[in-house]
Amino acid sequence: MLSPADARAKAEMLVDLARKKGASAADAVYVGERSRGVTVRMAELEDVHSSEGEEMGLRLFMGQRNASVASSDLSTEELEALVDRAVAMAREAPEDQFAGLAPADLLFHGDRAELDVDDGGDPDPASLRERAAEAEAAARGVEGVTNSNGGSASASASTFAIATSHGFSGATRATGYSCSASVVAGEGASMQRDYAWHSARYQADLESADDIGRRAGERAVGRLDPQRVKPGVMPVLFDPRVATTLLGHFIAAIAGSSIARKSSFLLEALDSKVFADGVTIADDPFRKRGLRSRAFDGEGLAVAPMNLVEDGVLKTWLADSAAARQLGLMPTGHAIRGVSGSPGAGPSNLTLQPGTRSREVMIGAVRYGVLVTELIGQGVNGVTGDYSRGASGFLIVDGEIGPPVAEITVASNLKQMFASLEPATDLRIRRGIDSPTVLVPEMTVASA
């Protein structure tokens, strides 16, 4: 894996080579990754893995024709051959009136924000094994846990660089650490499984393995002896670990490509009320040690914190340059990309801001409803917003959390859900997408 400076120079070299061979414009991306991990099961070492790889991608334009190629062989000879292949492909490609690099006047220049996403660490397998074993031991130590899927710990580092033919080049390096545990409670047909995990940029910020393991065990035991739910329309609360999926559906619906293809249930919603009063969804690329922090986007454009939703009103689409041209807009600085293909659009550190009522107060006001802690299946229609997911969690009866429920279905339409949902106050910043507990006042709930 190259250093950020060397990766940046390599990307610049590939762009220069493309221009020399006749490309009217080009950009190049370098991605290098190193990772290692350990899994322990039933207190015995089960798996150790280590990998390191790097790839480069080139996107070049011959007027309005373009092609994308990628290679894991970064030798000078292979990169020259790569450019030749891309030039030949572009000459045969159809013209695309929306294709092209990002607007030059929006490129990022100046001092880069200090994101603090690299702690410089490289833990050895022995320390990873110790963390994985501690997580599994804590999970198995919870009374009622009868089996284990294992405890895992991993560490990684990555370098990303991009260069364009119209004046931008930049590179970043980041580290990542994670720890998880998954266990089974109960016996025979009544067995239940659950898990817990945490990821962080700095090893020092990673939650203790003991806490992660204990939470996994308690979650599995808490799911034993599920009861049947009385079907009907009722309040549904989404626990923070599943409430983030609602944000994922929202982001997919406001992606510029979805809007340009007219395949979004929020097609006509810009500058209108989509969520309830007081709801704010914020995007912050500059969060220190954030899992999705970035100094520039995948096309080299400047990025900035912004509210995607403010007091319930949708304020912007998320648009890369191609989608922005289709929509007659300026790109929003949300381009994301890998080494091959054209950029798409996505958020950085996304947060549904907390509301005014606590989770406890919300639960206390529910006479009969469901707290969802796990979602199953993919029953969401991005065009119509129709929503139907398998789920499990807990009944709420007379303002208190009751017995667990499993194999239920929760259904509604995302437009209605967004318009009525209420975030609680229990927001914790732990992922790239974070949400507090969310209350949707009315959903149809039935046994699956």
Mean per-residue pLDDT, 371-390: 95
Question: Domain 4-220 has what CATH class?
Answer: alpha beta
**pLDDT given at position 111:** 82
Q: What does the alpha-carbon distance between residue 156 and residue 52 come to, in Å, rounded to a whole number?
A: 9
Q: Report the b/e string of 17-26 with b at 16+ CB within 10 A.
A: bbeeeebbbb
Please give the pLDDT value at position 112: 83
Predicted local confidence at residue 110, as pLDDT: 83
Q: Give the tens place of pLDDT for each residue, 35-84.
A: 999 999 999 999 999 999 999 999 999 999 999 999 999 999 999 999 99
User: Tens of pLDDT along 411-426?
Assistant: 999 999 999 999 999 9
Instruction: State mean pLDDT over 299-307.
Output: 96
Q: Assign 113 a pLDDT band (cuts: 50, 70, 90).
A: confident
User: pLDDT class for 189, splitting at 50, 70, 90?
Assistant: confident
pLDDT value at 329 more than 80: yes
The overall average pLDDT reported for the chain is 96
Q: What is the CA radius of gyration of the chain?
A: 24
pLDDT in tens, 223-243: 999 999 999 999 999 999 999
What pLDDT sits at residue 377?
87
For the whole model, what pTM was predicted?
0.94
Give pLDDT, residue 168.
96
- Percent of the chain at pLDDT > 90 equals 96
Domain regions of the chain by residue span: 4-220, 226-448
pLDDT grade for 92, boundaries at 50, 70 and 90: very high
Q: What is the pLDDT of residue 378?
A: 85
